[in-house]
């Protein structure tokens, strides 16, 4: 694969302490003709590596960062901590919004709603939105106490949720969220899929639509078929999946036809094969737009299915299940198996720590379709057995509460791996 940088750019990146020694060794051996071979010798980095000697590893002292932030040259942010321990990030001022705008513009339906924004030199930017996610996942935005609606309105964005526990939203809270949304007249909803689904459930029960709404953008975590299907049913608008991470920005975006496109201006992607399936890949990211904290060959921990230029998001490697023989079963396959029932709105599949063959499916149902039938349970059980083995045993448990991670995000699968098998290592 052709690397993302010419030799001249690599020479500049060699000034970054984290990469200095490695890149200088590569440049000693490389020429423009064999740069591809040299790039493949670049080591991978993970989120845990970003803690090491930060921020000196990226060429800054803590005092310099503080001064740069005070002069609004950079924003100092933190990852949500869902995949691994939270890390600090150095981002250019306004970086996240520009990353998002480039991604959303790949969808022509969304692009047609963009509006000039004076803050970004009148460049076209996304229109009015209501944000419904965990308060820990609002990038550079967080709220304490009980701020007013006005205080939670930042430009063309209204943040309506203040709780990391949407299953505990009271009727009063949900009523306020809906009233604020209707008053704001958003062009789209920017949702975490679980939060968006539970908000949609309340809107359906109240028999209320949002007349101004033209589409929904789902990000922050894996979009289940159940989440997408239900939000589309309730709001009668398309639901588009946007994929990325706080440290890399947005990487892939669904276009108006539902095809997943790479946001090539934001990052350079490499795809590492997993031994169990040639089409199943781990995504490796080299960022292109953050000069303060460039990430080179960053193993983001997410899986995709890639066949030629067609992509499907498969969920985080951390959330995947594994067979007894160590083969990876990604979130997407598990989701396909469970969401054959259109009664399930949200679920969590949990593997027993005592017996790897024993699993429990906690599930939350829509309230207008009745309980799961024996036929639906047999179908789900059979589908999961195909992936997880015929010694697979499944217990069904209907519930009205499913717990989230400390970040406020939700894991669809809680699996236990046998470290002796090395199943958490998708490649050598």
Per-residue HEC secondary structure of 319-377 comes to HCEECCCCCEECHHHHHHHHCCCCCEEEEEEEECCCCCCEEEEEEEECCCCCCCCHHHH
Rounded Cα distance, 53 and 236, in Å: 49
The 3-state DSSP class for residue 275 equals: coil
Rounded Cα distance, 198 and 193, in Å: 9
Rounded Cα distance, 426 and 428, in Å: 7
pLDDT score, position 378: 97
Ranges under pLDDT 50 in the chain: 83, 138-140, 418-428
Domains of the chain in start order, with CATH, are 1-42 (no CATH), 88-315 (3.40.50.12780), 319-421 (3.30.300.30)
Burial of 111 (0-12, 13-18, 19+ CB in 10 A): middle
Strands (E), 219-334: 239-245, 249-254, 260-262, 267-274, 277-287, 298-307, 310-316, 321-322, 328-329
pLDDT score, position 56: 95
Which residue, 121, 87, 75, is CA-closest to 101? Answer: 121
To the question of pTM greater than 0.75 for the whole model, the response is yes
The residue count for the chain: 428
pLDDT score, position 135: 83
pLDDT score, position 386: 92
How many alpha carbons lie under 13 Å from residue 427 in its C-beta half-sphere? Answer: 15
Phi-psi map region of 404: left, alpha, beta (phi>0 left; psi -120 to 50 alpha): beta
pLDDT score, position 1: 64
DSSP 51: G
DSSP string across 151-201: TTEETTEEE----S-GGG--HHHHHHHHHHHHHH--SEEEE-HHHHHHHHH
Q: 404-422 in b/e burial notation, b at 16+ Cβ within 10 A?
A: bbebbbbbbbbbebeeeee
Rounded Cα distance, 184 and 103, in Å: 24
Indicate the helix (H) or strand (E) that contains 379. helix 374-388
Helix axes 374-388 and 331-338, enclosed angle (nearest 10): 160
């Amino acid at each position: 694969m052709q690397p993302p940088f010419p030799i001249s750019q690599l020479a500049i990146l060699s000034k970054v302490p984290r990469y200095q020694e490695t890149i200088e060794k590569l440049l000693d051996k490389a020429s423009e003709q064999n740069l591809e071979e040299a790039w493949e010798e670049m080591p991978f980095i993970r989120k845990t590596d970003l803690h090491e000697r930060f921020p000196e590893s990226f060429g800054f002292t803590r005092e310099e960062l503080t001064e740069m932030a005070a002069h609004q040259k950079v924003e100092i942010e933190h990852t949500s901590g869902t995949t691994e321990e939270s890390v600090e990030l150095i981002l250019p001022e306004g970086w996240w919004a520009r990353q998002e705008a480039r991604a959303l513009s790949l969808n022509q339906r969304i692009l047609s709603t963009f509006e000039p924004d004076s803050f970004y030199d009148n460049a076209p930017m996304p229109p009015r939105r209501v944000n419904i996610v965990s308060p820990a996942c609002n990038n550079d935005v967080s709220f304490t106490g009980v701020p007013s609606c006005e205080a939670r309105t930042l430009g063309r964005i209204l943040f309506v949720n203040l709780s990391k526990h949407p299953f505990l939203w009271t009727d009063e809270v949900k009523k306020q969220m809906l009233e604020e949304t209707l008053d704001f007249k958003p062009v789209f909803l920017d949702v975490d899929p679980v939060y968006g689904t539970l908000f949609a459930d309340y809107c359906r029960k109240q028999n209320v639509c949002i007349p101004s709404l033209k589409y929904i953008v789902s990000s922050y975590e894996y979009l289940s078929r159940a989440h997408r299907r239900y939000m589309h049913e309730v709001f009668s608008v398309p639901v588009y999946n946007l994929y990325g991470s706080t440290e890399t920005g947005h990487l892939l975006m669904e276009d108006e036809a539902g095809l997943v496109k790479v946001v090539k201006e934001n990052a350079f992607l490499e795809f590492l094969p997993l031994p169990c399936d040639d089409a199943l890949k781990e995504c490796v990211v080299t960022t292109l737009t953050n000069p303060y904290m460039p990430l080179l060959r960053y193993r983001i921990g997410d899986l995709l299915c890639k066949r030629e230029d067609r992509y499907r998001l498969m969920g985080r490697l951390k959330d995947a299940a594994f067979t007894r023989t160590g083969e990876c079963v990604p979130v997407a396959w598990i989701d396909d198996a469970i969401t054959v029932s259109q009664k399930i709105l949200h679920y969590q599949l949990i593997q027993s720590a005592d017996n790897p063959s024993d699993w429990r499916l906690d599930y939350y149902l829509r309230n207008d379709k009745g309980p799961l039938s024996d036929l639906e349970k047999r179908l789900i059980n059979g589908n999961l057995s195909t992936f997880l083995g015929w010694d697979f045993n499944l217990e069904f448990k209907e519930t009205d509460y499913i717990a989230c991670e400390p970040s406020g995000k939700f894991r669809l699968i809680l699996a236990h791996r046998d470290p002796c098998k090395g199943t958490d290592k998708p490649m050598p």
